[in-house]
Amino acid sequence: MTSVPDGAGPDEIAAFVETLTFPPSPERTLGVEWELGLVDPTTLDLVPRAKELLALVDDDAGGAHARQATARSRVTKELLTNTVELTTGVCANAAQAHADLVEGLARIRAAAEEVGVDLYGGGSHPFARWADQEVTDGQRYATLIDRTQWWGRQMVIFGVHVHVGVRSAAKVWPLINALLTYHPHLTALSASSPYWSGEDTGYASNRTMLFQQLPTAGLPFQFDTWSGYRAYLRDVFTTGVVSDPSELRWDIRPSLRLGTIEVRTCDGLARVEDVAAVAALIHCLVRYLEGQLDHGTLPPPLPPWHVQENKWRAARYGLDAIIITDVQSREVLVTDDLRELLTRLAPTARKLGCEAELAGIEAMLRAGAGYQRMRDALAADPDGDLRAAARAMLVPR
């Protein structure tokens, strides 16, 4: 059981919290979740066709494009009927995750062609109206919308989530606190949501700013220990903020079900190679920081006010953001710090066997982030048609 029992009193809640343990991952595994929008090939507007697509890739029902017995990826529903999510198996490294994504994407693509839709990989859609989108059937989604109302209905957004296995609960919060230093790097690199309801927001990642409006989303609190996190859970369960830890939709959070740290910072990505590159970066980064933690050399975490400022700067300016890198308030251009980070992570990538995937980060920097490609496409369109921006984030065939 992961949810607080109905009608539980303070003593029962306290006892329940004690049962919430972090199942250590025996290996430093990797998993990826990639959200994809479904759009009409002509209008490029979002369309509610997920149910039809999922029927064709349904593994249990033997859909026309169900995975083979040896395949590991899965395709599932999401909050809105314009979205599907592709999930890898439990992977040893980003190379294996890449293979899972390629296999799963091929099944989605085949089903999408039968349904008559294209796949969209941006963090938000340039002109789709949120009020026109349909919520997927299910109690979990209905509860979310009932509680969050107008803001919940606004969540016409897409992201990439990366899970990394952690061997000990004691390591989880020191690693999450350390990862917050790199929150702006991931936001800037993946930023692909400059437009909202037909307007340029002026932000590289409007999705970042929008998602944090949900009551339990945004930056996590910085706990020193696992027991401190448990005390927080007791408080939010007692006061009815949430009834299940998974309802805490933080940018970086522990997964009590999987024994992982889940990094949910990234906007949607349109190219499978980019998803694999970001997965490699996060996998290497967690492993690198864990090594520092083991050797007592992990730098002190950034104070919350620096973390919050960095998040805003990356969302606003993307790859042009100047970020704060340490407790001495040193500032640097995020792309310069990314390239320096890649150098530091190179030995870790060799150990994990994901050098080729990590090299994809440099390719992403050369090609430009999604928000840059979208704005360039719109500027080049003689009619200023926002479909050009949407087309720039279609998943290549």
Write the pLDDT tens digit of every residue in 167-210: 999 999 999 999 999 999 999 999 999 999 999 999 999 999 99
Give pLDDT tens digits for 9-23. 887 888 888 888 899
Tokens at residue 349, please?
Answer: 């990538």
**Contact predicate 127/390, CB 8 Å:** yes
Largest separation between any pair of C-alpha atoms in the chain: 66
> Which neighbouring-strand residues pair with 34?
86, 160
- pLDDT confidence of 221, banded at 50, 70, 90? very high
Which pLDDT belongs to residue 67? 87
Nearest-angstrom CA–CA distance, 181 and 301:
7
Give the separation between CA 133 and CA 153, rounded to whole angstroms: 8
Q: Stretch 295-318: mean pLDDT, rounded?
A: 97
Q: pLDDT averaged over the chain? A: 95
**What confidence score (pLDDT) does residue 177 get?**
98
The token pair at 347 is 């030995």
Distance (Å, rounded) from C-alpha 229 to C-alpha 220?
A: 11
- Provide the token pair at 146: 């009932």
Distance separating alpha carbons of residues 132 and 208, to the nearest angstrom = 22
Spatial neighbors of 98 by CB under 8 A, at least 6 apart, are 272, 273, 275, 276, 279, 357
> What confidence tens digit (pLDDT) does each residue in 309-352 have?
999 999 999 999 999 999 999 999 999 999 999 999 999 999 99
Pairing relationship of beta strands 195-196 and 322-324 according to DSSP bridges: unpaired
How much is the average pLDDT of 200-223?
96
The CATH classification number of 28-389 equals: 3.30.590.20
Spatial separation of the C-alpha atoms in residues 208 and 246, rounded to whole Å: 19
Task: Kindly calculate the radius of gyration of the chain based on its CA atoms and give it in whole angstroms.
Answer: 20
What is the rounded average pLDDT of the residues 130-154? 89
- Taking alpha carbons only, the member of 183, 173, 195, 158 closest to residue 84 is 158
Long-range contacts of 151-154 (CB under 8 A, 24+ apart): 151/213, 151/214, 152/214, 154/130, 154/210, 154/213
Other Cβ atoms closer than 10 A to 67: 19
Mean pLDDT of the 296-314 span: 97
Q: Is 314 exposed, middle or buried (0-12, 13-18, 19+ CB in 10 A)?
A: buried
Comparing C-alpha atoms, which of 111, 352, 159, 380 is closest to residue 262? 159
The band of 223, judged by pLDDT with boundaries at 50, 70 and 90, is very high
Q: How confident is the model at residue 5 (pLDDT cuts 50, 70, 90)?
A: confident
